[in-house]
Amino acid sequence: RLIAKKMQLTAEAEELKPFFMKEVGSHFDDFVTNLIEKSASLDNGGCALTTFSVLEGEKNNHRTKDLRAPPEQGKIFTFYYFFLYIFYLLLLSDLLVLYLIRLIMKAHSFVRENVPRVLNSAKEKSSTVPVPTVNQYLYFLFAPTLIYRDSYPSYLEGLLILLILFLGVLILFLTFFAFLHCWLNAFAEMLRFGDRMFYKDWWNSTSYSNYYRTWNVVVHDWLYYYAYKDFLWLFSKRFKSAAMLAVFAVSAIVHEYALAVCLSFFYPVLFVLFMFFGMAFNFIVNDSRKRPIWNVLMWTSLFLGIGVLLCFYSQEWYARQRCPLKNPTFLDYIQPRSWTCQYVF
């Protein structure tokens, strides 16, 4: 009914267009004719004013303006409001057409998202048919989106995502303090181990290369002596970049393996961030960067990187909980479930 009513209003507006254009033309002709007559009368008055004094001419001029101003002003305002009315009428017509297009796009999205689910349910002979409720449909009609979903993230979830940037860095600090400081120092104290250089002032780093050297000195020393030097011997000393690339690959694979075992699924977000972005930052933001702004950029990238890791891995874990498979294969173990699960949000 709403679509039929809007189409009827559009048709009526189209019928009124010739009448309005005719009225505009007649008013415009009258307006031009009045301007020509006024210009001619002003020219004749200019010749007559030469026989009077300057003061008399100014008085007559002011009197003439006072007498003629109201009709001219009324015509101009009438002409202005008429054009304004036409403008608003055309704007309303365009808005109705755009709103109709919006409804068509929403209807297409609604059908496109729900018909496959109903067909799959009928094919599998399921007892329940996943049909959206009326409240879900009405919410979708007024929501500022053209893609239908059964539910949408609220602003609280957006704030939660923002909080996860900050929580990620808090987890980084707690991990650093619990393992690199407390755990290693506890064993060093019990075993009377003298070398307590487990980390350096990585928080003051202005380059990623310095950050990698000072964040975890224990692991860095092992990678330097048994990975970097061996790869350097293998690739010869002329290919230092290749040896460093091999060290990054080994470290990224080990980190991703540890996460895959702990989470019971393979989702190589950490591998991509560490292998590509981490390696690129290591060469771009190198030791030649000494200004404090580079320290700010390093901390900003840490905030973003850890927040991205938490968001992606949490989303994948949630998708695997909401969309479990009956007989998962090895391919299902390594294939991201969040790309296919319809109930992630």
Cα–Cα distance for residue pair 196/40, rounded to 1 Å: 103
What the block records as the tokens of 110 is: 């609604």
Q: Are 187 and 193 in contact (CB under 8 A)?
A: yes
Judged by phi (left if over 0) then psi (alpha if -120 to 50, else beta), residue 229 lies in alpha
Cα–Cα distance for residue pair 36/216, rounded to 1 Å: 89
Q: What are phi and psi of 273, to 5 degrees?
A: -65, -45
Report the chain's terminal Cα–Cα distance, integer Å.
33
Picking from 164, 161, 142, the residue whose alpha carbon sits closest to that of residue 153 is 161
Judge residue 6's burial from the number of C-beta atoms within 10 Å of its C-beta, 0-12 exposed, 13-18 middle, 19 or more buried: middle
Is residue 255 part of the annotated active site? The answer reads yes
Q: Which CB contacts under 8 angstroms, 24+ apart, belong to 338-344?
A: 342/117, 343/150, 343/319, 344/315, 344/318, 344/319
Cα–Cα distance for residue pair 227/251, rounded to 1 Å: 10
Which residue of the set 27, 108, 181, 255 is catalytic? 255
Picking from 11, 75, 1, 81, the residue whose alpha carbon sits closest to that of residue 38 is 75
Q: Which residues are catalytic?
A: 255
